[in-house]
Structure 1
Amino acid sequence: MKIINAFRWNEGYVQPCEIRVSDGVITELGHSLSTGEQEEIFDARKTLIVPGFTDVHVHLREPGGEYKETIETGTNAAIRGGFTTICPMPNTKPVPDSKEKLEELNSRIRERANCEVLPYVSITKEQQGEELTDMKALKEAGAFAFTDDGVGVQSAAQMKQAMKQAAQLHMPVVAHCEDNSLAGDGVVHEGEISSRLGLSGIPSSAEAVHIARDVLLAAETGCHYHVCHVSAKESVQVIRNAKQAGVHVTAEVTPHHLILTEKDVTKDDAMFKMNPPLRSEEDKKALIEGLEDGTIDFIATDHAPHSEEEKHTSMKEAPFGITGLETAFPLLYTHFVDTGKWSVGQLIRWMTTKPRAVFSLRRRELEPLHPATFTFIDVGRTEVIDRHTFVSKGKNTPFDGAKVTGIPVCTMIDGTIAWKEWKKK
């Protein structure tokens, strides 16, 4: 198969591109390739072709929460958003905290997933923060990494022991950083908006204190420590200092924390309830600077689908979380590339190359011998986000009605079209 009428980002420029694919692998790439006899032609229709996106932080809810999302609907949302590898968190029922449970989950994934799915396993049994899992057995069963995401590991001693074992196994420990004694029953950022709306606040220190604790433990144990969804300027500074000191710490940031702030929360609206919460303009600025200078390594969505009923209530009762797989790239492209703040190459790197490098996943680049796993983006196409059109079961987003450009229109996995939605010409 030969892909024609495509463009790619190469050496700082968008350039015309043709790609030859054989048996799911790139065999040739150039400006203009010859056409073989009876060769299948795939017309990319002047779209930008990039390696399929990787999201190392999603929630698929299956098993136990299928009314919110399933492996099938979640992976369909992924490929619609241009993601070809996703890593689901272990806050399911049951939690994948044993070899047997992980094997059962992987069996479901093989049957139902429409893209690559690499599942996390928990640090502690049932994510209760009390007894460590059998990390060696879980690694042998194919665990991606260890995390109690959704719950910060409250005991420093437990976290130190987990890091020791993970370091011996050459596996990452991935952390939702939150000190429960500081976070309390907060639902939004502790500040001006929480006071005005009469809602309990979560201070930035609840996150930063855990990160500070954990980077010291990572330095002591030699563990690769990864921080989920960084939200506060204090956290960015702690991570920056740790990296400068040679600690093996990496970090991610979400699209919503890069785009929104607490000022976007104008009323008690659970569509804006996520954990960590939207913070101040200063925090957002620090996150952007941290991403740009390498303190924060890449972008992840924290795709967290919930039912309509759950989200149509007060922030005081609603669960934390918003969906992200189907909106991430267009939102980021619109806010940062279209405005000239970032190059499209930077955004592509933070959604493809960097997460794969951090977690030592097989490289995927537009180069010969790499998998023909691509996302095709119509950079001139503009749409209005309509949550009711999501293929995810979760329709919970604060971005409903936002006008965006840079739309993923086709996803190819190993040379096969997984999803396509060309705009009528």
Structure 2
Amino acid sequence: MTRDLLLTQVGLPDGTTADLAISAGRLVEPGDVNDPQRVDAAGLTALPGLVDPHTHLREPGREDAETIDTGTRAAARGGFTAVCAMANTNPVTDTGEQVAWLHQAARGASAQVVPIGAVTKGLKGEELAELALMARAGVRMFSDDGKCVHDARLMRRALEYLGDVGGVIAQHAQDPRLAGPGACCHEGEVSGRLGLAGWPAVAESVIVARDVQLAQLTGTPVHVCHVSTAETVEVLRWAKAKGMPVTAEVTPHHLMLTVAEVEGYDPTYKVNPPLRTEPDLSALADALVDGTIDMIGTDHAPHADHDKAHAFSDAAFGMLGLEQALAVVVELFVNTGRLDWAGVAERMSHAPARLARITEQGRPLRIGEPANLCLVDPTARATVDRAASASLSRNNPWHGRDLPDPVVGTLWRGEWTYAQEGLL
């Protein structure tokens, strides 16, 4: 039996202070705990456990880059109690059987692993995957992330089918004719000067414009993964004003890093969609604050060194995201007064849990609710060291940067999945 826990004088997202008591994995009245482990939480803030709608765990198939164990330990270090695992593994999560395997493999993980099912078989964009069988196995979010469902007719069929099971498609918005296989850098002055194949902003926004109208036609919601351009923000504003069923996420790296990082050809900064311009970053930040973009998604994409250590154009796309996601949000939004803690909880816990239909996550910190939370020190800072990551991979874009280091402890179902030295 896990020992009861009492967190004393901890700050809550609404700005109040309280004692939080935990017993049998749930929040209880402070008087209902028996001989609890006491933690002096004065000066700390408790947030509902963070939920990542966009994680690549690489297992099965690429355990040299990440495993369920290492990926969820990185998640816990970042304050996450649930991660939605993208389908682009080997084999692809495109069958009910593969969903069952993932549920089994995730037992003993440091965070809840929520399978995302593929939209098409093998992510090939040709034939619908086993949507009904995966839905029967509990899947509610489907994505070919890494590839776009670019065939409009197939996308419509998938939306119509998933409407009957309460599903949502998370789209990697990339027109393959406008941003083809060689595209690796934001199309503009930098790509031209460096001789890198350009990925134009319009390749994202045209897919989003199409998909929101298909969502309206079918009545089935669409979620836009890793929004990266000001043009897409304008499409989302228009769609939401029309009442179209659409949500969207933005990554920490698209909020803080620009295409200027590519100047040194460091493949760490090769990501899909690519890093954009300062005006794009400004538009994305404004959209996150005003709710046009609903949530943060890390797009945590670990890669082994032998996949990243190449010329920029040949290296794999992707960068780590779980451990420093909250740090970036604190730096850009909390420390500048653009979001309060309640706003952070909405964008990093409540909204993604609603999107993925995870009933036991993203819950308010109230009596009777699951004890999924992270403890945050708003003042802590550190220099990021990629060698200290819980992830197996080292493609960390924040290495060497001075950033907030807010997470001091994470609790999932009332048990510590991460605790900073000296907390307990």
Q: Secondary structure at the match of 2:44?
A: strand
TM-score by length of 1: 0.94
Q: CA deviation at 1:421?
A: 1.2
Partner residue, 1:364 = 363
Supply the RMSD in Å over aligned alpha carbons: 1.8
Aligned partner of 2:417 in structure 1 is 418
SS of residue in 2 equivalent to 1:250: strand
| 1:201 partnered with 2:201 | no
1:26 aligns to what? Answer: 27
Report if the CA contact (8 A) 2:205-2:235 is conserved.
yes
User: Aligned AA for 2:12?
Assistant: W
Relative to structure 1, the CA distance from residue 235 to residue 58 in structure 2 (aligned partners, 3 Å threshold; closer, same or farther) is same
What are the within-5 Å matches in structure 2 for residues 283-322 of structure 1? 283-322=280-319
Structure 1 pair 151–306 and aligned structure 2 pair: CA distance change class (3 A): same
Alignment match, 1:9: 12
Matching of residue 154 in structure 1 with residue 150 in structure 2: yes
Question: 1-side partners of 2:32 and 2:164: how far apart?
Answer: 51
**3-state SS of 1:102 partner:** helix
Distance 1:414 1:198, change over 3 A: same
1:324-382 residue CA offsets vs partner (Å, 9 max, x unmatched):
01111112212322233322332222111121223332241111111111101122221
Q: Kindly tell me: are residues 250 and 36 of structure 1, through their superposed partners in 2, closer, same or farther at Cα, counting changes over 3 Å?
A: closer
Q: Is the 8 A contact 1:3 1:44 kept in 2?
A: no
Matched residue type, 1:388: A
Residues 2 and 35 in structure 1, CA contact (< 8 A), matched pair in contact too? no
**Is the Cα–Cα contact under 8 Å of residues 305 and 394 in structure 1 kept in the other structure?**
yes
Displacement of 1:176 after TM fit? 0.4
1:45 Cα deviation from its structure 2 partner: 5.5
Is 1:385 matched up with 2:362?
no
- 1:129-173 CA-to-partner distances (Å, cap 9, x unmatched) read 001112111100122411111100121111111111011221111
What is the alpha-carbon distance in structure 2 between the residues aligned to residue 324 and residue 160 of structure 1? 31
Equivalent in the alignment of 1:325: 322
Which digits, 9 at most, give the CA deviation of each residue in 1:103-145, with x for residues without a partner?
22222122x4221110101010000000111211110012241
C-alpha separation between the residues in 2 aligned to 1:6 and 1:268? 48
Aligned to 2:312, the other structure's residue is in SS state coil
Instruction: Please tell me whether the aligned partners of residues 69 and 392 of structure 1 are also in contact (alpha carbons under 8 angstroms).
Output: yes
Letter in 1 for 2:400: G
Work out the CA distance in 1 between the residues paired with 2:27 and 2:314.
50
Q: Taking structure 1 as reference, are residues 422 and 221 closer, same or farther at Cα in structure 2, changes over 3 Å only?
A: same
- What is the aligned counterpart of 2:217 among 195, 201, 220? 220
Separation in structure 2 between the aligned mates of residue 422 and residue 407 of structure 1, nearest angstrom: 14
Q: Which amino acid in the other structure matches residue 312 of structure 1?
A: A
Separation in structure 2 between the aligned mates of residue 334 and residue 200 of structure 1, nearest angstrom: 32
1:80-115 deviation per Cα after TM superposition (whole angstroms, max 9, x unaligned): 1110000010000000111222222222122x4221
Q: Which amino acid aligns with 1:154?
A: H
Contact 1:374 1:413 in 2 (8 A): yes
Match of 1:138 among 111, 134, 141: 134
Q: Which runs of 5+ in 1 are unaligned?
A: none
1:23-422 alignment runs, 5 A limit = 23-28=24-29, 38-44=35-41, 46-110=43-107, 112-184=108-180, 185-362=182-359, 363-422=362-421
- The AA in structure 1 aligned to 2:19 is E
State how far apart, in whole Å, the 2-side matches of 1:37 and 1:417 are. Answer: 18
Give 1:35 deviation, angstroms: 8.7
- Native 8 Å contact 1:27 1:368 kept in 2: yes
2:408–2:423 Cα contact (<8 Å) kept: no
Asked if the contact 2:229–2:284 (Cα under 8 Å) also holds between the matched residues in 1, the reply is yes
Aligned-residue offset at 1:406: 4.2
Contact 2:12 2:18 in 1 (8 A): no
Q: Which letter does structure 1 place at the counterpart of 2:27?
A: I
Contact 2:8 2:38 in 1 (8 A): no
CA distance in 2, matches of 1:267, 1:246: 43
For normalisation by structure 2, the TM-score amounts to 0.94
Matched residues in 2 for 1:236 and 1:333: separation? 22
CA distance in 2, matches of 1:144, 1:247: 19
